[in-house]
Structure 1
Amino acid sequence: MKKQIEAFIFDLDGVITDTAEFHYLAWKKLGEDLGIPFDREFNETLKGVSRTDSLERILKLGNRQNDFTEAEKDELATKKNAHYVELIRNISEKDLLPGIELFLKQIKQAGIKISMASASKNALMVVKALGVIDYFDHIVDASTVINSKPNPEVFLKAAEAVSAKPENCIGVEDAAAGVDAINEANMFSVAIGDATILGHANLVLSSTEELDFDRIIDQYLSV
């Protein structure tokens, strides 16, 4: 049976826009408040990971994982998010990564659904601010997802929301955990970034400028 493509499913941070720096600054401030300093290298381990799991990793780094009740941890995560929201308040169309809007336009023109599978609870707000909300048929609200990446749940929900079979979907990610999730969901994985970290994807591109609709479809159909 001939393969078909029903949907593209995008991560947000590092794919549509680069809010990773804002996440880093917000977590770093919280870490400093807690006396847990960390660097950009450690921050890489938080990419694609939910807010709750990121907090757990930071607390573990500082050996403070047992110092807070669940309610206090919720407060800490909320505090980080408030700082992050403040940082992204001025985000706009100029913060779209290169080539993204043209790529979204090509997918739409081909009559293929577009969904989002982001670990961010602010995804809808960010996509609206970027001016690309109309391209998306569905955005999975991270608060409705129980398991964070590398678990495939968010990608499977994003496919189901647009009535697409996972094996007929192409997922686009910039984090190793995200690629794991796409692969586990039995989707074709496209990774943006360092091939030494993301080499387990079906296709690795060095930047969003390399997102070429025809090339990706050809690669998908040839697998």
Structure 2
Amino acid sequence: MGKFEQIKGFIFDLDGVIANTSVYHAKAWHQLADKVGVSWTTDLANQLKGVGRMDSLNLILKSGNKENDYSDEQKASLAEEKNDNYLQLLKSLDKSEILPGMEKFIEDLSAHNYLISLASSSKNSPRVLEALDLNKYFDARVDPATLKHGKPDPEIYVRGAQVLNLKPEECIGLEDAVAGITSINGAGEISVGIGDPEILNEADINFKDTSEVTLENIESAMKRKLNV
């Protein structure tokens, strides 16, 4: 792990890190699982965290041994239906859904001249940031439509540094899912896991929830790791 002083940029996942939109995704996927006759479980919901739309659909179908029951065209239609459900749910989204401490943290990063990018697999992320009134703080975002691979592949976080014109070792990525932490680590960036540290045990730094995420706490955690 590099020194805190080397850090120039922060790369954010969206769902479950900045806002509670993961709840809306889960509701929309639950609706779809019911439609195709697949039992919705906590384990299945956890598997979908941080995973792209088509990969999530395939995980749901596989869970019910239905992965061969639909053509690619039918799968695309199901994925579109899920997205329509999600967009309907999003209409109620506002700043109250920003997770504790995250607006202040993002404001603090901007005030200290850190570059900020978004590495969300959600194609609706611009709409979400706008609803949360956080767009103004983000210097760039990765367009998931341009990616060849979803998380846990490192591509999205590699690109998250590139859109800021930074090297991976100059960036910190923040995630709440195992797939996301694997992606950050694979990109050669410092990973911050937000959630159960036993589940996110591959993260370089762990915080139990977003309220603990501050520049000061990240700097302290990095110095402890380096025994500085």
Q: Same fold (TM over 0.5)?
A: yes
Deviation at 1:220, TM superposition (A): 3.6
CA RMSD of superposed structures (Å): 1.4
Aligned to 1:30: 32
> What residue ranges of structure 1 are gaps of 5+ in the alignment?
none
CA-to-partner distance for each residue in 1:122-155, whole Å, 9 max, x for gaps?
Answer: 1110011000100100111211111111101111
Distance in 2 of aligned mates of 1:209 and 1:11: 16
Letter of the structure 2 residue corresponding to residue 37 of structure 1: S
Per-residue deviation, residues 178-205 of structure 1 (Å, max 9, x unmatched): 0010011110111110011001101110
- Give how far 1:110 is off: 1.2
1:179-218 to 2 correspondence within 5 Å?
179-218=181-220
Q: For 1:105, which of 104, 107, 110 is the aligned residue?
A: 107
Separation in 2, partners of 1:30, 1:129? 25
Unmatched runs of 5 consecutive residues or more in structure 2: none
Q: How many residues align structurally? A: 223
Kept after mapping to 2: 8 A contact 1:6/1:165 = no
Match of 1:160 among 145, 159, 162: 162
Correspondence list, 1:61-140, <5 A:
61-140=63-142
Q: What is the match of residue 60 of structure 1?
A: 62
TM-score (norm 1): 0.96
Q: Which residue of 2 aligns with 1:16?
A: 18
Distance, in Å, in 2 between the alignment partners of 1:216 and 1:43 is 29
Question: How far apart are 1:21 and its partner, in Å?
Answer: 1.5
- Following TM superposition, by how much is the alpha carbon of 1:19 offset from its aligned partner in structure 2, in angstroms? 1.3
1:215 Cα deviation from its structure 2 partner: 2.3
CA distance in structure 2 between the partners assigned to 1:11 and 1:35 by the alignment? 30
CA deviation string 1:158-185 (max 9, x = no partner): 1100101001100000001100100111
The alpha carbon displacement at 1:209 in A equals: 0.4
Inter-partner Cα distance in structure 1 for 2:217 and 2:87:
36
Tell me, in whole angstroms, the C-alpha distance in 2 between the residues paired with 1:67 and 1:105: 48
Q: 2:146 aligns with which of 139, 144, 147?
A: 144
* 2:171 alignment partner, one of 140, 164, 169: 169
Residues 150 and 181 of structure 1 are in contact (CA less than 8 Å); yes or no, is this contact kept in structure 2? yes
TM-score by length of 2: 0.94
Paired residue secondary structure (1:49): coil
Once the two structures are TM-superposed, the CA of residue 96 in structure 1 deviates from its matched residue by: 0.6
